[in-house]
Amino acid sequence: MSQPGRHGGGSVEPEEFEDLDEALAAERTLLAWSRTGLAFMGLGGAVIRVAPVPGVAILVLGAAIWLLGRMDTRRMEVSPRERPRAARLRVISYGTVLVAGLAFVVALFVPGRTLP
Amino acid sequence: MDRPTGPEPDRADYAADPLPAEAEPDARFTFANERTFLAWIRTAIALIVAGLAITQLLPPFAFTGGRRVVGLPLIALGAVLAFVSFRQWEANQHALRTGQPLPRSLLPRILAVAIALLAVIAIVFVLVSHEPGP
């Protein structure tokens, strides 16, 4: 991000504080998406050593989340479009449930580390 | 952006306007709701990672299945959080649109109780499995 929202780092007129707050809210949300994507990628990187295919799938999911976050957070400042965001969040929610299911199967059936 | 905080409108108002009017919520509220959802998702991922690490990487307890007793509920809890947090997001967004008070979330209580319970179980397991020193 080269510029914080619509305000390019210069001084801000007092009457624009509300706009600035909105731009900062968009920025924080963008960062939250990045963190979430990174969390998935971290999990994917760990899983890849035990189960390569699901690991890669989780990595891809993480990258997708990262990209989804960047897609229209900027435009959201002007007009937050709720419906497409809802679909996106639903995908993430169900995707996480799927990942949990996968993890459950691994935890149940893959033998863990034993004492040396 | 002001949410109504005064007393509820009386019945006559409801009769005149049976459905709560919908309005596009302030973008900042929409963003905040979205961040809250994402934070819950990260919490879910952290629980899944913890569950996997406990079952796969931790040295076993003195009895079989001990790691799974602690790890599997953590993973299941992650699934519950991922599912419920989206419903919560929807409910919050609806409340924002219609100017209703935000619904209470059960998630923090579920999370706190479950983690406390699992912590107690884990402590018992560790104590039972403890090998006395030489």
Task: Give the model confidence (pLDDT) of A60-73 as tens digits.
Answer: 999 999 888 887 66
The B residues from 59 to 118 touching A (CB cutoff 8 Å) are 59-60, 67-68, 71-72, 75-76, 78-79, 82-83, 85-86, 89-90, 93
A104 and B76 within 8 Å at the Cβ level: the answer is: yes
Region A102-107 average pLDDT: 90
DSSP-assigned letter for residue A10: S
| pLDDT number for residue B118 | 96
- pLDDT of A53 above 80: yes
Which of residues A81 and B75 earns the better pLDDT score? B75
| Residue A83: both structure tokens together | 């419906």
Q: Which residue of chain B has the CA closest to A77?
A: B27
Q: Which residues of A touch B39 (CB under 8 A)?
A: 32
Region A14-43 average pLDDT: 83
Q: Which residues of B touch A94 (CB under 8 A)?
A: 82-83, 86
Q: Tell me the CA distances in angstroms from B101 to A22, A83, B33, B98, one per residue in order.
A: 22, 21, 14, 9
Which of residues A116 and B63 earns the better pLDDT score? B63
Q: Which residues of A touch B59 (CB under 8 A)?
A: 113, 115
Q: Is B66 within 8 Å of A60 (Cβ atoms)? A: no
Lowest mean pLDDT among A29-33, A67-71, A91-95: A67-71
The B residues from 28 to 47 touching A (CB cutoff 8 Å) are 28, 30-32, 34-35, 37-39, 41-42, 44-46
Which residue matches tokens 């009386």? B10
Helices (H), chain A: 17-50, 52-71, 73-78, 82-109
Phi/psi zone of residue B65: left (φ > 0), alpha (ψ -120 to 50 degrees), beta? left
Q: How far apart are CA B72 and CA B52, in angstroms?
A: 8
The model carries a pTM of 0.79
Residue A23 near chain B (CB below 8 Å): no
Give the gap in angstroms from C-alpha B23 to the nearest C-alpha of chain A: 12
Backbone angles phi, psi at A112, to 5 degrees: -80, 180
Which of residues B23 and A92 earns the better pLDDT score? A92
A28 and B82 within 8 Å at the Cβ level: the answer is: no
- pLDDT of A3 above 50: no
- pLDDT of A6 above 70: no
Residue A17 near chain B (CB below 8 Å): no
In which residue ranges of chain B is pLDDT below 70?
1-20, 132-134
**Mean of the per-residue pLDDT values of chain A:** 78
Interface ipTM above 0.85: no
Give the gap in angstroms from C-alpha A9 to the nearest C-alpha of chain B: 20
Q: How far apart are CA B31 and CA A27, in angstroms?
A: 9
| pLDDT number for residue A79 | 57
Render the burial of B106-117: b for 16+ CB within 10 Å, e for the rest: ebeeebeebeee
Q: Is A97 within 8 Å of B79 (Cβ atoms)? A: yes
B27 and A36 within 8 Å at the Cβ level: the answer is: no
Q: Is A39 within 8 Å of A95 (Cβ atoms)? A: no
Q: Is A41 within 8 Å of A4 (Cβ atoms)? A: no
Q: Which percentage of chain A shows pLDDT scores above 90?
A: 27
Which amino acid is present at B35? R
CB-based burial label for B94 (10 Å; 0-12, 13-18, 19+): middle
Q: How far apart are CA B125 and CA B69, in angstroms?
A: 10
Q: Is A36 within 8 Å of A54 (Cβ atoms)? A: no
| pLDDT number for residue B28 | 84
